[in-house]
Amino acid sequence: MRRLGAAAAATLLVVLGLALATGWSSGETREARPPAGPQVREGAARRRVPYSFRRVASGLVLPLHLAAPRGEPARLYVVEQAGRIRVLERGKPRVEPFLDIRPLVQSGVEQGLLSVAFHPRYAENRRFYVDYTDLAGDTRIVEYRSDGETALPDTRRELFRLEDPYSNHNGGNLVFGPDGRLYAGMGDGGGGGDPGNRSQNPATFFGKLLAFDVDRPDAPPEQVARGLRNPWRFSFDRGTGDLYIGDVGQNAYEEIDFTPRRSPGLENYGWDVYEGRSRFERKRPSGGRLVFPIVQYSRRLGISVTGGFVYRGSTVPSARGRYFYGDFGSGRIWSLRVVRGKAQDVRLERFRVGALASFGEDAAGELYAVSLHGGIFKLVD
């Protein structure tokens, strides 16, 4: 694997929203404490597991994300940070990119082309969506269509633009939910400690989970959740519709948030009142249903969480129903099961993927891990 230089690696450490620590502390208070939940412990389960991540492709250039339309079992689409989407067919990157919008994209550290989502009826309508940082550093969410092989640049239609005060914490994940809406995870706008207190402020889109009705392009997105710092990858369980979010912490805790499909609505994931389950700022949450992480881990085990997927593939039966997630900096990967809303059987896996930028699913629900160093790995027996 090509190794990046030390300087590049240092900047990559902030790719996912870790950095710009500004001396905020997470002083505990005597106010109501959140419920204790499972902490991730090193070596909590060292039992032999029959699976691992095996490299299936190399040579991508700063790949950040991976997705596939449901109707294309033989293809993976890999997002490269600079502004391209590459097609992988049986492990081989096609020479011609699927999409190339590099001239429109400001790329580097936490900015760039950050994700792609295919319309649930992509096989018929060929519509797909990208989230990227434009040349002014602002977030854009744009629809394109393809001819089935390659994107058609002239079909571009903008859904959303958000002027961004800082270069970091851009969220950037796009996922279609079980209700057919397009969900977008927005970071808190950046800086350290949410200096503009945007995540709890219902008047801004920062720090929110947004849902777009892509058939009503002029309708504003619904804010379905608030209190996010930098949701670096979220997913809906394709089996149950439950929502899992990896939210990057400030100085202390990385967290995974869970919301069942049938939730009462308007979740508040806590930031910047809480970092993980710890008090961060002495103020009240701004409303909504306060949700604490189902699991968190400290700086000893990692620096920047990468949320993953509940495995619903068929290649590795023993992993079915387990939620996989990891850490960008340490490359550690864990899995767990959610039972009645709680994390159980949290397991540190034996394998690591360095510069773990994302997980992704193919059409059949097989699970992949994406290394920013250029490799794609598949969960196999």
Q: With CB under 5 A as the contact rule, which of the stretches 82-90, 143-151, 212-220, 271-279 interacts with Ca ion?
A: 271-279
Q: Which of residues 156-195 bind Ca ion (CB under 5 A)?
A: 193-194
* Whether 96 contacts 82, CB under 8 Å: no
Q: With CB under 5 A as the contact rule, which of the stretches 54-62, 112-120, 272-280, 366-374 interacts with Ca ion?
A: 272-280
We find the least distance from the C-beta atom of residue 54 to Ca ion, in angstroms, to be: 33
- Based on CB atoms, which residue is closest to Ca ion, 17 or 193? 193
We find the least distance from the C-beta atom of residue 28 to Ca ion, in angstroms, to be: 16
CA distances 299 to 152, 253, 311, 329, 330, Å, are 44, 7, 26, 10, 10
We find the least distance from the C-beta atom of residue 8 to Ca ion, in angstroms, to be: 30
We find the least distance from the C-beta atom of residue 339 to Ca ion, in angstroms, to be: 21
Distance (Å, whole) CA 60 – CA 368? 14
We find the least distance from the C-beta atom of residue 271 to Ca ion, in angstroms, to be: 5
According to the binding rule CB under 5 A, does residue 244 interact with Ca ion? no
- Based on CB atoms, which residue is closest to Ca ion, 197 or 223? 197
* Whether 153 contacts 142, CB under 8 Å: no
Sign of CA dihedral 52, 56, 60, 63: negative
Q: With CB under 5 A as the contact rule, which of the stretches 139-147, 196-204, 306-314, 323-331 interacts with Ca ion?
A: 196-204
We find the least distance from the C-beta atom of residue 16 to Ca ion, in angstroms, to be: 15
Distance (Å, whole) CA 310 – CA 237? 6
CA distances 40 to 16, 256, 319, Å, are 20, 11, 19
Distance (Å, whole) CA 321 – CA 326? 16
The three-class DSSP label of residue 246 is strand
Strand 222-226 vs strand 267-268: parallel, antiparallel, or unpaired? parallel
- Based on CB atoms, which residue is closest to Ca ion, 176 or 205? 205
According to the binding rule CB under 5 A, does residue 272 interact with Ca ion? yes
Residues in the chain: 381
- Based on CB atoms, which residue is closest to Ca ion, 194 or 327? 194
Q: Which of 118, 269, 311, 359 binds Ca ion (CB under 5 A)?
A: 269
- Based on CB atoms, which residue is closest to Ca ion, 63 or 270? 270
We find the least distance from the C-beta atom of residue 115 to Ca ion, in angstroms, to be: 21
We find the least distance from the C-beta atom of residue 269 to Ca ion, in angstroms, to be: 4
Name beta bridge partners: 293. Answer: none
We find the least distance from the C-beta atom of residue 200 to Ca ion, in angstroms, to be: 8
Closest CA to 365 of 243, 254, 236: 236
Q: Which of 107, 146, 197, 268 binds Ca ion (CB under 5 A)?
A: 197
Point out the residue whose Cβ comes nearest to Ca ion.
270
- Based on CB atoms, which residue is closest to Ca ion, 229 or 312? 229
Kindly determine how many residues on this chain lie close enough to bind Ca ion according to the rule CB under 5 A.
Answer: 7
Q: How many CB atoms lie within 10 A of CB 315?
A: 16
- Based on CB atoms, which residue is closest to Ca ion, 7 or 36? 36
Q: With CB under 5 A as the contact rule, which of the stretches 12-20, 91-99, 262-270, 316-324 interacts with Ca ion?
A: 262-270
Distance (Å, whole) CA 104 – CA 81? 12
According to the binding rule CB under 5 A, does residue 270 interact with Ca ion? yes
Give the CA radius of gyration of the chain: 19
- Based on CB atoms, which residue is closest to Ca ion, 128 or 269? 269
Task: Tell me the DSSP string of 177-227.
Answer: -TTSPEEEE----SSSS-TT--TT-TTSSTT-EEEE-TTSTTSPPEEEEE-
Q: Which residues contribute to the site for Ca ion (CB under 5 A)?
A: 193-194, 197, 269-272
